[in-house]
Amino acid sequence: PYTGGNGGTYASQSISSTGVTGLTATLSSGTLATGSDSLLFTVSGTAATSGSAVFALSFGGQSCNLTVSVAAAAPTYPAGTVHCTGTPTAVVDVTNPTTGKTWMDRNLGATQAATSSTDTAAYGDSYQWGRAADGHQCRNSATTTTLSSTDTPANGNFILAPNTPYDWRSPQNTNLWQGVNGVNNPCPSGYRLPTDAELDAERLSWSSSNSAGAFASPLKLPLAGYRVSSNGSLVNVGSNGFCWSSTVSSTNSRGLNFLSSGAGMGAGNRANGFSVRCLKD
């Protein structure tokens, strides 16, 4: 409400929020009635987090703070995402105090965060590098020997690639999984594949550079094994863990490998099916 005025026109205003960012309070231009009237600010945008958004309002020589309690929009998965368990992977955050990075607390496709290194409910899906969640990532999906000439294969089959360059796509495309807006990013909104450096920083923060350290870390990475590019079989389940990064390396892409005797970063065939752990952007 506005009181004590002599009427007259006023200009539009746009005021960005503080505290919780991402919101804007907009006042359209108009005319005040003499004596008293109301000013209508419209709040729009997407809140970056939950909490209190503060707008510093100023009008007619007077100022005040408008505080609005907001909840951040829940992350959503890309349109067309196939959820192998029938329900979307729950988005629960966990932060590594050493690296300061916030991640999903489970692999894509997992129904829970790992309770042990061999917790089968925490293994999740097996993604071919650069592909969307079109169903190929389901650990029991059908296979095909037909390579894809586009970023979007004709079906959700796991594409076998037994010959060099061991990629599901021909010709290869190195720009598929980079950033939250990356082509085929399978992560929920606001999340993305980590880079090679970001994934390795997590490894370096572990209490030990092996599968025990992987599980003891904030990410509780399980030994999900991987799906072989040549025949689609699952191997090393319960003994090795493999996680993709967004980083490419020649005709391959980089990923994290860990087992009881050690852990490290390396290059893998893009047609292999590895785990995906999403990083909050």
State the Cα torsion 174-175-179-185 to the nearest 10°.
Answer: -90
The model's pTM is 0.80
Low-confidence ranges of the chain (pLDDT < 50): none
Q: Which strand (E) or helix (H) includes residue 26? A: strand 23-27
Cα 224 to Cα 215: distance, rounded to the nearest angstrom: 12
Give residues with Cβ within 8 angstroms of 86, minimum separation 6.
Answer: none
**Residue 146 in 3-state DSSP?**
coil
Tokens of 237: 């389940």
* Residue 141 near residue 110, CB atoms below 8 Å: no
Q: Which two tokens stand for residue 111?
A: 């129904």
C-alpha span between 271 and 65 (Å, rounded)? 55
| 16 close to 48: Cβ distance less than 8 angstroms | no
| Per-residue pLDDT tens digits for 74-85 | 899 999 999 999
pLDDT at residue number 8: 81
pLDDT at residue number 62: 84
- Mean residue pLDDT of the chain comes to 95
Q: Count CA atoms closer than 13 A to 212's CA, side-chain side.
A: 5
